[in-house]
Chains A and B, each alone.
Chain A
Amino acid sequence: MSFKREVPTTVMSGFALSGVLVLTILNILLQNIPTKIQTAGDELLKLNSSEGVANAVTSVVVYFRGFDTLGEIAVLFIASLGIGLMLESNSKCDIKAEGNFMLQTASKLLFPIIMLFGIYVMIYGHLSPGGGFQGGVIIASGILLLLISHKNFEVPHSVIIWLETLAGVSYVLIGLIGLVVLDKFLGNFLPNDISNMGLLLSGGIIPIIYIIVGIKVGSEMSMIVQNLIKRDGDV
């Protein structure tokens, strides 16, 4: 059976026409935006000065939208759980091919550097571009390098479970402590002076929460990568 699907030309032309119409409407709308529009982002930029965090994107992700980030991490956890349920059950065999000696030597050289870079991106997320999501994905890419180069390498499952559990629980616990201390979920109860802005120890709970997010994203992405790469052998 062929892999090409026969789509009638009327359907395709209808889609093209609707695309052109949507484009026109969007363009008309966009041309009429006043230049001095007050957006929610401007308000958040003004508010951001009081939190003592140099990276406004981080304070939006972790502080102003912190509850949504908790939900997004839950979505990530559910996706990771689904992949584990789908693929983990019969993944006894490792991948057949082992990396050649160049890949093995290069992975020994590169793996510490990748981990160091990932942890740096994670810890300095409130000062520079980066943060927990990016750092976690970088760490997972280091795990991927080890998985494709060493045949018998396996991410220790119990360690990952404990890391994930601790990260998720401590995120919620920090939020609840803020609820108790400041009467606000994820309230910034640690010292966050503006005079410390730009230092590593600044911003109160924001860097701590981003490191927690990084640990959780890194462990979940590592498990996703391992579950996708370990196969039965016949596939």
Chain B
Amino acid sequence: MFEFFNQPEVIKTIVTIGSMALFFVGLFGLLTQKHLIKIFMSIAIMETALFLLFIGLMYKKSFLAPILSDGQTGFTNMNDPIPHAMILTAIVIGMAVLALGVSFAIEYYKLTGKTNIDEMTSLRH
């Protein structure tokens, strides 16, 4: 019964639906939450959805990871290495940028004692 899930169309559909669902979980959090750090967490969840979409769309059954190991002679029947390479760097950059945002939030809290974005009206007056 699991052969059904190994068809490439089914895999791509599942990956697309799942990552879009995760993306909209993050978007829902971004729209409904007011705590600054929760908003950054929502952005991180949306990032994760994109990583899963990129990696999952390039998955092909019976294709190997693009690493030459014992018993293999050439780079045939291997998955596309480009999404792996791009997501590899995107994860690290996303983490660093998230840390930068959180540090802004910490510094703002130290200065004003506010974490609710509705109260951040310093520039309005």
Q: Of residues 53 to 103 in B, which have CB atoms within 8 Å of A's CB atoms?
A: 57-58, 65-69, 74-75, 78-85, 88-89, 91-93, 95-97, 99-100, 102-103
Tell me how many residue pairs across A and B have CB atoms closer than 8 Å. Answer: 151
Q: Which A residues touch B91, using CB under 8 A? A: 133
B89–A60 CB distance below 8 A: no
Provide the A1-44 mask, 1 if CB < 8 A to any CB of B, else 0. Answer: 11111010001100110010011001100110001000111101
A198–B68 CB distance below 8 A: yes
Q: How far is the CA of A227 from the CA of B67 in the complex (A)?
A: 37
Q: Which A residues touch B74, using CB under 8 A? A: 49
A30–B32 CB distance below 8 A: no
A23–B17 CB distance below 8 A: yes
Q: How far is the CA of A60 from the CA of B83 in the complex (A)?
A: 10
A232–B110 CB distance below 8 A: yes
Which size bracket describes the interface of B in this complex? 35 or more
B69–A54 CB distance below 8 A: yes
A61–B89 CB distance below 8 A: yes
B34–A19 CB distance below 8 A: no
Question: Smallest Cβ distance from A226 to chain B, in angstroms?
Answer: 12
B100–A4 CB distance below 8 A: no
B8–A35 CB distance below 8 A: yes
B57–A235 CB distance below 8 A: no
With an 8 A cutoff between CB atoms, is A129 at the interface? yes
Once A5-B31, A5-B34, A129-B65 are accepted as A-B contacts, the answer to whether A57 and B96 lie under 8 Å apart by CB is no
Q: Which A residues touch B69, using CB under 8 A? A: 54
Question: Smallest Cβ distance from A76 to chain B, in angstroms?
Answer: 5
Q: How far is the CA of A40 from the CA of B58 in the complex (A)?
A: 12
B67–A76 CB distance below 8 A: no
With an 8 A cutoff between CB atoms, is B116 at the interface? yes
Question: Smallest Cβ distance from A70 to chain B, in angstroms?
Answer: 11
Q: How far is the CA of A46 from the CA of B33 in the complex (A)?
A: 48
Interface residues of B, Cβ cutoff 8 Å to A: 8-9, 12-13, 16-17, 20, 24, 27-28, 31-35, 57-58, 65-69, 74-75, 78-85, 88-89, 91-93, 95-97, 99-100, 102-104, 106-107, 109-110, 116, 118-119
* Beyond A41-B58, A56-B68, 19 extra complex contacts between A and B, CB < 8 Å: A1-B119, A3-B34, A12-B31, A30-B13, A31-B9, A39-B80, A41-B83, A46-B75, A57-B85, A61-B85, A61-B88, A69-B89, A75-B96, A79-B97, A80-B96, A129-B65, A133-B91, A134-B88, A220-B96
- 26 A-B pairs whose Cβ atoms sit less than 8 Å apart in the complex: A4-B32, A4-B33, A11-B31, A26-B20, A30-B12, A31-B13, A39-B82, A41-B81, A45-B78, A46-B75, A49-B75, A54-B67, A54-B68, A56-B81, A76-B92, A82-B100, A86-B104, A86-B106, A86-B107, A129-B67, A133-B91, A137-B92, A221-B96, A227-B103, A228-B103, A235-B110
